[in-house]
Amino acid sequence: MRLPSSSSSVDLLPKIIMGVDPGTQIMGYAVIEVQGSRVQVICYDVIDMKKLGTNHALKLKKIFERMLELIDEYLPDELAIEAPFFGVNVQSMLKLGRAQGVAIAACLSRQIPYVEYAPTKVKQAVTGSGSASKEQVAKMLRQTLKLPPIEEAPKFLDATDALAVAMCHHYQKGNNVKAGTKSWDKFLTDNPDRMSSATGTKKAPAKAKAK
């Protein structure tokens, strides 16, 4: 496929993309170098915070410090990060949002721009299905990027999820204006009962919307 002439010269320049799959127990990260259509996987691994127990403040501190170490080591041009999944547990969502925010703040402190992608967007970009499993994402990445077998790859699938986020950003080729369209504001607007339950305010259950 021929690229637009206005972007051809830009695409020939090497670019380092860092992908992050936020988590409060395990946070996946990946770094790729892109030059034109060529993609080289530099690294993909995880930040393991299980040993920190339930101390959320220490986890956020570790995320920030480790992200700065990775940024200073690999010097990424851009950060691609997965948006928090809108699940049932509001407290877990808030903690995940903080973890994502700290990772973003680390990049912004080094003047690195970021783009947010919804989980379904990432899966769709890599596998063609927005409902693909972690295992399916990992399998497709191994085939596309000729990665080592799963037993030789990083232990946690969160690492391949982060690699998928980086690849999703690469596939956009700058057409990511609409990335991360789901925001906390939109979620709270659509689900006011979730926030009231999180703050301890009792509210009559909302009626199910007709599909």
Residues with catalytic function: 21, 82, 158
Alpha helices in 45-183 (DSSP H): 56-74, 90-108, 119-127, 134-145, 157-172
Is 158 flagged in the annotation as binding? yes
Helix (H), strand (E) at residue 196: helix 192-198
Contact assessment for residue 21 and residue 165, using Cβ atoms and an 8 Å cutoff: yes
CB atoms closer than 10 angstroms to residue 31: 23
Phi, psi of 177 (to 5 degrees): -60, -35
Residues tagged in the binding site annotation for Mg(2+) = 21, 82, 158
